[in-house]
Amino acid sequence: MSKIRDFDEPFEEIIVDVTQKLSEDKQVRMELPDGGFLYFDRPLPFLVVFRQPADGDKRPLSLLARSQTSFLLAPANSKPENLKALVHAIAKTISKTSGAFLIIELWAEQPKSKAGDNPLQNDRGTVKKSAKANPAADFQIRAPGEVPYSSVNYLKKNLEKIKIGYQNATAEIALEYRHPPGLPQLMGSDNLKELGALLIGLEIRPFYINSETGDPYPLLLRKLARDLSKALNRTFFEFVRIQTNLKVSHFHMLGRRIMTRSAREIDAKLARIDDSFRFLLLVTPINIQEAWEYFNKNHFKKKPAFHYRLMSEDPEILKRELYNISIERVEDPTLEFMFREKRSELDKMLTLLTERGKPEFMPGSMQYYGPLDESVTKLAADLLSAIPRNSDSGESSIITPNEFAVMARKEINYYREQHDPVNAEVCVQDDIAGLLVSNGNLYIGTDARISAIRAEALIQHEVGTHILTYFNGKAQPLKLLYCGLPRYEELQEGLAVLSEYLVGGLTASRLRLLAARVITVQAIMRGAGFVETFHILHEDHGFDARQAFTITMRVYRGGGLTKDAIYLNGLVRVLKWLEDGNELEPLLIGKIREDYVPLINELLYRRMLHPAPLSPRYLDFPGVRSKLEQLKTGLSVLDLLQV
């Protein structure tokens, strides 16, 4: 049996330090004396290794390795004894408690073709071998016969799920050497058997490299890092489940639990920029009452002028800060994806602020909030046809804004008893139209007309949904959960409207109002002016003058804010979510959208996020649970009128 010996003295100190930390169940993040780097999020029975070549571009595979929960980067010219001793000590330490250890070494396939046979661009957006070269699989799995077939085959199956352009990746199993050509093997068979360890080599064809420039395709490489991380984690899960004594129920549980310093810093910077401006307040007029009086005085024939709050921050400077954030430093592929998405959204919001009051604002709003779906405009038209114009005749009893504020503060106190950090404020102001939640606070306009029979529904809309999800997100280590993940508003408004239905306050007139907002957005998108749209609502659909003015103002503010169409579409999406058999609670962990739920679940499995501390009070209302079960049978928005 071979011995591990002859390593340098500095490495002996490193090995002692590493094994002690692993034995104490601690994170390891350490630069090595030879220029390498070792990382363990926590002691887990697997390690990804990449020996970085002295020549060529080592960044792509370094990025792929760094996306893993545990990895070792080492210069290819490192003294072999040092590397062997370190890996041997790691495997021995972790095997004592887990019973087995898996090592996967990555390297890039070396070009075999002549100068005239360089890889060529193909029609799937990546590269392919020229006709003169033998085609190679995208991934070559190097595993001698003693490696359990289940682990190797599972790796192959998951690698073949990776999409490269429009096609699935190819993978082959080769029962031969498992180390990069020209380098010594990382660990011999005798040492592996002694430790109960397995070693698999993974050779990757450099399809992520532009053959003409030699530079990586950055978007393809980032996607590959996410997909390869998932494939390896699934393989590690299968290995852990079969070969070790660890108890894990999902492959995500093997992902990173600790946010690195760079990830925390980037999350904080994005949150700071998001918190530095209040978008809805900045695009809402401050002279709504004066504008109405002018419009009314001129017999609804002259468009009023709207005035807006001064901006305390320069959007262009914020944009500069935004793109000075080095998101590429984030090693965690899931967090990196979410950060990039958020940066793109903030960019669009800041662009909208620079275009406030200009013709460019409305196209930018359409890009930010998304296009108006034809099915939603049809639904809006159907609702306006199905609901009588006098449907609000039973809603004559009105409560004052101050009375509503008392109700809201009482509801907030209920949540504060569950979770002390809930410190939302309620403000009654004359420069607000209706109700608005911003940065976790509720703003009520002094001219807000609140129907007594809808007051509870509005409390659940504003407090039980918008404020609740803000503070649920605020309770998470990831600040994006309270700032809002990209395009979260549509689902948020859908959830808020659903809460109105669940407490019995989604009246016919309320649905008629939501439909009118869609029709108003449709009108501005086809080029109708303020006055024309007002008369469509007032004369064609029978809304009273002040209500028609408010609906029109909300859509035409800023130059054309198309947000109001998302309420009805959001309700459709929530109903579809329930019809698909899903529960409501996962959508309340913060300000998210439903297609982010798999990522949120991943972070929950990884313990990077925690269960939400707050649950809506309306879920305990009599009959609400049975209503939710009924919605799962597949009710439409029109069905809600009869239920």
Residues 204 and 297 occupy one common structural domain: no
- At 145 the pLDDT is 67
287 in the same domain as 192: no
Three-state SS string across 450-484, please?
A: EEHHHHHHHHHHHHHHHHHHHHHHHCCCCCHHHHC
State the pLDDT at residue 9: 63
Shared domain check, 287 and 201: no
pLDDT value for 351: 96
Separation CA 447–CA 288 (nearest Å): 10
- Give yes or no: residues 189 and 308 share one domain: no
**DSSP code string of 489-527:** HHHHHHHHHHHHHHTT---HHHHHHHHHHHHHHHHHHTT
pLDDT category of residue 323 using cuts at 50, 70 and 90: very high
Three-state DSSP at 106 gives: strand
What residues contact residue 562 under an 8 Å CB cut-off, 6+ apart?
Answer: 362, 365, 366, 369, 372, 521, 524, 525, 555
According to DSSP, the β-strands at 426-429 and 197-204 are unpaired
Which of the residue ranges 126-130, 377-381, 418-422 would you say has the lowest mean pLDDT?
126-130
Question: How many CB atoms lie under 10 A from the CB of residue 397?
Answer: 10
Q: Helix axis angle, 624-631 relative to 566-579, nearest 10°?
A: 80
Which of 91-95, 174-178, 617-621 shows the lowest per-residue confidence on average (mean pLDDT)? 174-178
Q: What is the pTM of this model?
A: 0.87
With 0-12 CB in 10 A as exposed, 13-18 as middle and 19+ as buried, what is 176? exposed
57 pLDDT tier (thresholds 50, 70, 90): low
Q: Would you place residue 147 in the very low, low, confident or very high pLDDT band (cuts 50, 70, 90)?
A: low
Record the tokens describing residue 561, joined without a space: 């804010």
Task: Determine the angle formed by the axes of helices 489-502 and 566-579, rounding to 10 degrees.
Answer: 70
C-alpha of 190 from chain center:
45
**119, pLDDT greater than 90:** no
pLDDT tens-place string over residues 333-357: 999 999 999 999 999 999 999 999 9
Q: What are phi and psi of 347, to 5 degrees?
A: -60, -45
Q: Higher-confidence residue: 393 or 485? A: 485
Whether residues 251 and 302 fall in one domain: no
Residue 105 has pLDDT above 50, yes or no: yes
**Residue 128: is its pLDDT beyond 70?**
no
Q: How far is CA 328 from CA 20, 266, 333, 389, 641, in A?
A: 31, 10, 10, 55, 50
On whether both 204 and 247 belong to a single domain, the answer is yes
Query: How far apart are alpha carbons 432 and 233 in whole angstroms?
Result: 50
Contacting residues for 17 by C-beta, under 8 A, at least 6 apart: 30
Residue 1 lies in a domain: no
Q: Stretch 433-453: mean pLDDT, rounded? A: 90
Q: With a cut of 80, say whether residue 478 has pLDDT above it.
A: yes
> Over 80: is that where the pLDDT of 264 sits?
yes
Pairwise CA distance, residues 311 & 23, whole Å: 54
- pLDDT (mean) for 462-484: 97
Question: Up-side HSE of residue 12: CA atoms within 13 Å toward CB?
Answer: 6
Cβ–Cβ under 8 Å, residues 179 and 191: no
**Residue among 260, 397, 249, 252 nearest 339 (CA):** 260
Own/partner contacts of 247-255, CB < 8 Å, gap of 24 or more, are 250/605, 252/601, 252/602, 252/605, 252/606, 253/605, 253/606, 254/44, 254/46, 254/69, 255/69, 255/229, 255/334, 255/602, 255/605, 255/606
Provide mean pLDDT across the span 359-365. Answer: 95
Q: Is the pLDDT of residue 130 over 50?
A: no
- Asked whether residue 318 is assigned to any structural domain, the reply reads no
Residue 396 lies in a domain: yes
Q: Would the pLDDT of 5 be above 50?
A: no
pLDDT digit string (tens) for 230-242?
A: 999 999 999 999 9
Pair 22, 90: CB distance under 8 Å: yes
381 lies in the same domain as 432: yes
**pLDDT value of position 78:** 84
What total of structural domains would you count in the chain?
A: 2
329 assigned to some structural domain: no
Q: What are residue 276's phi and psi, to 5 degrees?
A: -75, -10
Pair (284, 228) in one structural domain = no
Alpha helices in 130-173 (DSSP H): 149-159
**What is the pLDDT confidence band of residue 132, given thresholds at 50, 70 and 90?**
very low
The single residue listed with the structure tokens 């803000």 is 470
Residue 225 placed within a domain: yes
Q: With pLDDT > 70 as the criterion, what percentage of the chain qualifies?
A: 92
Q: Say how many residues make up the chain.
A: 643
Residue type, 219: L
36 assigned to some structural domain: yes
- Is the model more confident about 526 or about 394? 526
394 pLDDT tier (thresholds 50, 70, 90)? low
370 lies in the same domain as 502: yes
- Is 564 contained in some domain? yes
Express as a percent the part of the chain with pLDDT over 90.
74
* Inside any domain, residue 94: yes
| Structural domain span for residue 621 | 278-312+355-641
pLDDT tens digits along 536-576: 999 999 999 999 999 999 999 999 999 999 999 999 999 99
Query: For residues 254, 258, 263 and 265, what is the CA-based torsion angle, rounded to 10 degrees?
Result: 170
Do 178 and 289 reside in the same domain of the chain?
A: no
| CATH code for position 75 | 3.40.630
Q: Are residues 370 and 439 in the same domain?
A: yes
Residue 388 has pLDDT above 60, yes or no: yes
195/160 same-domain check:
yes
What would the mean pLDDT of 242-256 be, rounded to a whole number?
91
Longest CA–CA span in the chain (Å) reads 98
Residue 595 exposed, middle or buried by CB count within 10 Å (0-12, 13-18, 19+) = exposed
